[in-house]
Structure 1
């Protein structure tokens, strides 16, 4: 039995699993369209994209037809399969499983290219994490303009910027940048692939944020609240610095494996925490639109805090503040888990996993603070 397993090519096994999953979904959707496609694929993946991309409160699927609805009461009374913008427990778990599976595939690619085991790989990919959140904000701006009658990006093209498709969009942009950068390094124009890779990511980020600024300046429908960016980025930098100094002094083993990468992990998740607190608890004080939590964990924390915390305290400081402490604590735990032994045993997979963990916090956090900054 062990000999049989030893003869299995991991790359071919991964590719066969991917092909099998795709075939199962396609065949299942064709053979059982109401149960497989409408009840699973559409409800948890494409339906939320349709509702989000068209600016609808929800979308429903009845007899193979999609109907867009506006208003919470209409959505509650709607028959058939109903999908709302945002995440559910099933979609969140599915994304996590897809992410882990995709990471394995990327590890095989990095092994073939012989890159991705050094810290420089992590730092070079950092701008792409910010770029993903900024790109999602472009879709938010397009939806805001859609409500005024003229979207910046029409649907279904805007669907490429909405979860879960935006993950594939950013992935393929990043993959193209990696391949171009590796080719540039091996053909002589640059010494290391990390430099052009970081440059491409930074350029993509600057262009995307610049486009948001252009929309805010030319359409008159978006706002500009720089205090949100200042507080979010400044607060995250301060907290990450304090976390680094504190752990280096009292628990240096926390940073032993990640080094300065750990600072960016904490910084990225702190950006997410602060952006959520500002958007949910201080929107009216900052003159921002009203926001609601879209993530399952964030929503649960707000609900529990509101139930346990006295109303007078909630009125004074809000109910989202524990999310910041959860994010910082979780980030420090992750940094501690990624010790030297993990990187020695599987450097490429560990590096990619650390990139993914950072992006999970920084991507949504970037989107949240940019939305608030531009009043979207």
Structure 2
């Protein structure tokens, strides 16, 4: 018992992190076909490879990788097939890694003795948008590659802005900005570190937007559909405003813990929901292109809705009102529920954990929502 009492949680986390990497690498080397190809490549690197090359799938066989560009070729392929996007296995794995990394961040915040506040929460908002915007840079890259044009970023370096590696890139960049601004604050160079932290994220975000704007202005295959962008932003803003007005008047208890931070949670997840509905159901009408979902929950929601239409004998509703709209309802309801759960007691008992978890909840909605919105805005 004394051994565990004296154990430094931060060192234990670091040991677990290094140990996990060592065990994974050792297993991949010892069992290349089952672990390296059958698990790591199939669920993690393979989807990244296919995504980076704009392929329908990537096939691993005999130690070599082949990219295929049609569903029929992928179905007929002999080997381990990986498609861009997420699977149940990768989704669960990412969730576990996310929780583990959140614990690490929590321990770091304790070491740095950083005071959690709404200002800190809002300062991280540009970083959440940045993650999604960087993914769109990779989407532009893949579009250039598919058209035989020179890419912005070569392969495999482009993998750094593809899931799951972009999570580590964003984690490292955000952590570096946080440590730098906190250091300047404690040296007296800044009155508070939060504005400088937010500014660092905003500068990186504007630079990324500049790259996307340049691609749209100089390449004919990259379009610009401002109507889609406006519909998403205005729609999410209206939903968030209605949430705040109705909850403050009829159920103010919902916002007692989060205050105005809850507005951003609902707004971020509404962006994700609206972007999915518009792109999946109305992509051809709004941007001249059809889209498919890469997320497990979204795909399941669409399938269930279509099956419900058929069961009720209203198959025509799919063309009239679409089949992705329940995903928006699910996102909004889940966001409001989260805001309600984060009451004053949670923030009083463990403020660092509460703020960190709330940030993560916003990021998992706003990141994909930003990507989906910008992709459709650029017509890719």
What TM-score results when the alignment is normalised by the length of structure 1? 0.97
CA shift, 1:4, in A, is 4.3
Separation of aligned partners in 1, 2:283 and 2:84: 21
CA shift, 1:211, in A, is 1.1
Separation of aligned partners in 2, 1:7 and 1:145: 55
Aligned match of 2:40: 41
Alignment length (residue pairs): 375
CA shift, 1:286, in A, is 1.1
SS where residue 203 of structure 1 aligns?
Answer: helix
The alignment's C-alpha RMSD in Å is: 1.1
Separation of aligned partners in 1, 2:231 and 2:73: 38
CA shift, 1:116, in A, is 4.7
CA shift, 1:188, in A, is 2.4
Tell me, yes or no, if the aligned pair for 2:228 and 2:287 is still in contact at 8 Å: no
* Structure 1 stretches of at least 4 aligned residues deviating more than 4 Å after TM superposition: none
Tell me, yes or no, if the aligned pair for 2:269 and 2:331 is still in contact at 8 Å: yes
Separation of aligned partners in 2, 1:136 and 1:313: 33
CA shift, 1:152, in A, is 2.1
**2:145 equivalent to 1:146:** yes
Aligned match of 1:108: 107
Tell me, yes or no, if the aligned pair for 1:124 and 1:195 is still in contact at 8 Å: yes
> Residues 92-241 of structure 1 correspond to what in structure 2 (within 5 A)?
92-150=91-149, 151-241=151-241
**2:306 equivalent to 1:302:** no
Separation of aligned partners in 1, 2:179 and 2:26: 33
Separation of aligned partners in 2, 1:344 and 1:174: 26
> Residues 1-376 of structure 1 correspond to what in structure 2 (within 5 A)?
1=1, 3-150=2-149, 151-309=151-309, 310-376=314-380
- 5+ residue gaps, structure 2: none
SS where residue 220 of structure 1 aligns?
Answer: coil
Separation of aligned partners in 2, 1:206 and 1:115: 27
CA shift, 1:204, in A, is 1.1
CA shift, 1:66, in A, is 1.5
CA shift, 1:355, in A, is 0.6
CA shift, 1:222, in A, is 0.6
Tell me, yes or no, if the aligned pair for 1:288 and 1:372 is still in contact at 8 Å: no
- 5+ residue gaps, structure 1: none
CA shift, 1:170, in A, is 1.1
Separation of aligned partners in 2, 1:160 and 1:4: 39
Tell me, yes or no, if the aligned pair for 2:287 and 2:377 is still in contact at 8 Å: no
